[in-house]
Amino acid sequence: MRQVKLGLWGAEVSEVCFGSLAISPLQGRVTEAEGVSVLRYALDQGINWIDTAEIYDNYGQIAQAIKDHPDVRVVSKSYSVSAEDMSFSLEKARTALNRDTLDFFLLHEQESALTLKGHEKAWEELLRAKEKGIVRWIGISTHAVAGVRAGALLPGLDVIHPILNYQGLGIIDGTLSDMQDAISFASDLGIGIYAMKVFGGGHLANNPEKALAFTRSVPGVQGIALGMSSREEVDYNLLLMAGKEVPQALQEKVKHRKRKLYIADWCQGCGLCLEACPQGALSIEDTVSVVNAEACVLCGYCGRVCPHFCLKIV
């Protein structure tokens, strides 16, 4: 598999990063054991890094899969605000992943310079952790153009994980062209870029060739995180990435079922899910939560905050 270098001073990794949200309990597509099996299979095919986050709640799954793969790199992220929060997040990841040194750790979903200012203490702790050798590369993930631009100017930042797809789906504060410009700006500063949501949370899955080709063609993008929850999806994506023909039988197997966010009718209208949605896709209407399916990227982040377990991706 093609190897890429993330930015000027980043790691050498496979072009495809395994997006583990797809096998995590947040998305509920597979059991924990099935997820481990898919992940192991992907590693055997040459994918050598994994994207996760503290909120995906799947460190245990990853730890099992990487047990015999000490060279596989793991990216995690947290929403930490204070230095103490970040220190806790780093220790949690080191313990649960069974790794003394973390490869990558990011501040999760930073929207702008203002958001980063609010997380300043956590960032400083991340810088200290990097100095001490607790983590090798640090950065941010973001759904925002302003997040990419602000992150690029953070001293010590190595990598940015932005949302990017050919329709600009999920970008919360600008156009696709704005995002491309911001990525180019960050890349010119030597920062490594690996894109997320290249299939727009499933909305662009009917034309995967176009989705992959577009993201790979954006100057400054070195890697792509792809969420996969079956061996067939791994095979399918890797054939596409290699520019090879996908056999008809395999195409049939991975035909993307249209997924959606299901909101149970016992919703209490408390509004907690609205605050958790990075896309602003939820609103309260007639005292219950409703989703704008066009805006929803099926990340599953809302489900974890609902006290009544109303939200599920089906």
- Record the tokens describing residue 72, joined without a space: 């596989």
| Cβ density class 163-194: b for 16+ within 10 Å, e for less | bbbbebbbbbebebebbbbbbebbbeeebbbb
| Among 122, 306, 312, 314, contact with ligand SF4 (rule: CB under 6 A) | 306
Surface-to-core class of residue 150, CB atoms within 10 Å of its CB (0-12 exposed, 13-18 middle, 19+ buried)? buried
Q: Which of residues 268-287 bind ligand SF4 (CB under 6 A)?
A: 268-273, 276-277, 279, 281-282
| Smallest gap from residue 167 Cβ to ligand SF4 (A) | 15
Nearest to ligand SF4 of 6, 30 (CB atom): 30
| Among 63, 96, 240, 267, contact with ligand SF4 (rule: CB under 6 A) | 267
- Going by C-alpha positions, the residue among 156, 149, 168, 223 that lies closest to residue 192 is 223
Q: Nearest 5°: phi and psi at 16?
A: -95, 130
| Smallest gap from residue 266 Cβ to ligand SF4 (A) | 8
d(C-alpha 104, C-alpha 286), whole Å: 43
Which ranges of the chain would DSSP assign to H, the alpha helix?
A: 32-44, 59-66, 83-97, 113-118, 120-132, 145-152, 176-188, 208-217, 231-241, 248-254, 272-276
Nearest to ligand SF4 of 27, 180 (CB atom): 27
d(C-alpha 229, C-alpha 252), whole Å: 16
Q: How many residues does the chain have?
A: 314
296 binds ligand SF4 (CB under 6 A): yes
Nearest to ligand SF4 of 133, 269 (CB atom): 269
| Smallest gap from residue 286 Cβ to ligand SF4 (A) | 12
| Smallest gap from residue 313 Cβ to ligand SF4 (A) | 6
The residue count for binding ligand SF4 (CB under 6 A) is: 28
Q: Which of residues 233-262 bind ligand SF4 (CB under 6 A)?
A: 261
d(C-alpha 41, C-alpha 54), whole Å: 23
d(C-alpha 90, C-alpha 252), whole Å: 41
Nearest to ligand SF4 of 193, 277 (CB atom): 277
Q: Nearest 5°: phi and psi at 113?
A: -60, -35
The answer to whether the CB of 96 falls within 8 A of the CB of 158 is: no
| Smallest gap from residue 196 Cβ to ligand SF4 (A) | 13
Nearest to ligand SF4 of 81, 305 (CB atom): 305
Rg of the chain taking only CA atoms, in angstroms: 18
Nearest to ligand SF4 of 140, 261 (CB atom): 261
| Smallest gap from residue 2 Cβ to ligand SF4 (A) | 30
d(C-alpha 108, C-alpha 168), whole Å: 20
Q: Which of residues 115-174 bind ligand SF4 (CB under 6 A)?
A: none
Distance of CA 182 to the CA centre of its chain: 18
Contact code string over 180-199 relative to ligand SF4, x by CB under 6 A:
--------------------
Nearest to ligand SF4 of 38, 277 (CB atom): 277
| Among 247, 289, 290, 294, contact with ligand SF4 (rule: CB under 6 A) | 289
Q: Which residues make up the interface to ligand SF4 (CB under 6 A)?
A: 261, 263, 267-273, 276-277, 279, 281-282, 289, 291, 296-302, 305-306, 308, 310-311
